[in-house]
């Protein structure tokens, strides 16, 4: 009799626990969605400059064809667009050789957006295909980084997020 009573009680308790954990899952799922919708704002990691950087790249939007690279220059902590900032890129030609035809610089408009079309960088020994970047904006720490490509992309989006200078 006692056992049955206990059993009779434990069922509603188990249901309540299930219900509550369901609510928790639902609540955390909702939170996750919101967080994903607002995208966490994280600084773009720095990467090596390598031996082929050359200052003084010309301002332009085309260094080849077949691959479009676009994104926004943003700032920590809230990923605000860094109007007046600059992004600079350099890469190899399709055969894997660095040349002056594949270097460019852009000053970003108020929405922070940049876009250029280029050749798919060729491979050189020991490295995946990549495009080098430098980014800078007034009041922010300049960044040198790289965009890695898998192969075969025709368009890539690459936001660059800078950290305020201290």
Residues that bind Fe ion (CB under 5 A): 50
Q: Are 133 and 144 in contact (CB under 8 A)?
A: yes
Q: How far is the CB of 73 from Fe ion (least distance, A)?
A: 21
Please identify, using beta-carbon distances, which residue of 81 and 96 lies nearer to Fe ion. 96
CB closer to Fe ion, 42 vs 127: 127
Query: Is the peptide bond between 66 and the residue preceding it cis, with omega within 30 degrees of 0?
Result: no
CB-based contacts of 111, cutoff 8 Å, min separation 6: 72, 81, 83
For residue 131, the minimal CB distance to Fe ion (Å) is 8
Least distance CB 135 / Fe ion (angstroms)? 16
Taking the least distance from each CB to Fe ion, the nearer of 50 and 128 is 50
- When CB distances to Fe ion are compared, the closest residue is 50
DSSP letter string over 26-74? Answer: HHHHHHHHHHHHH----PPPP----TT--S-PPB-SEE-SSEEEEEEEE
At its nearest, how many Å lie between Fe ion and the CB of residue 46? 15
Q: Of 8 and 45, which has the nearer Cβ to Fe ion?
A: 45
């Amino acid at each position: 009799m006692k056992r049955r009573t206990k059993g009779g009680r434990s069922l509603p308790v188990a249901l309540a626990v299930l219900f509550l954990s369901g609510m928790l899952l639902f609540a955390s799922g909702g939170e996750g969605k919101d967080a994903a919708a607002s995208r966490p704002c994280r600084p773009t990691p720095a990467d090596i400059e390598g031996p082929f950087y050359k200052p003084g790249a010309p301002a332009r939007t085309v260094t080849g064809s077949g691959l479009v690279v676009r994104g926004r220059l943003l700032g920590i902590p809230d990923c605000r667009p860094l109007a007046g900032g600059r992004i600079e890129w350099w890469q190899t030609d399709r055969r894997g050789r660095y040349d002056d035809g594949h270097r460019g610089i852009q000053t970003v408009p108020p929405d922070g957006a940049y876009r250029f079309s280029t050749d798919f960088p060729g491979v050189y020994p020991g490295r995946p295909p990549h495009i080098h970047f430098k980014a800078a904006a007034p009041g922010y720490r300049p960044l040198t980084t790289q965009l890695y490509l898998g192969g075969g992309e025709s368009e890539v989006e690459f936001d660059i997020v800078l950290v305020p200078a201290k």
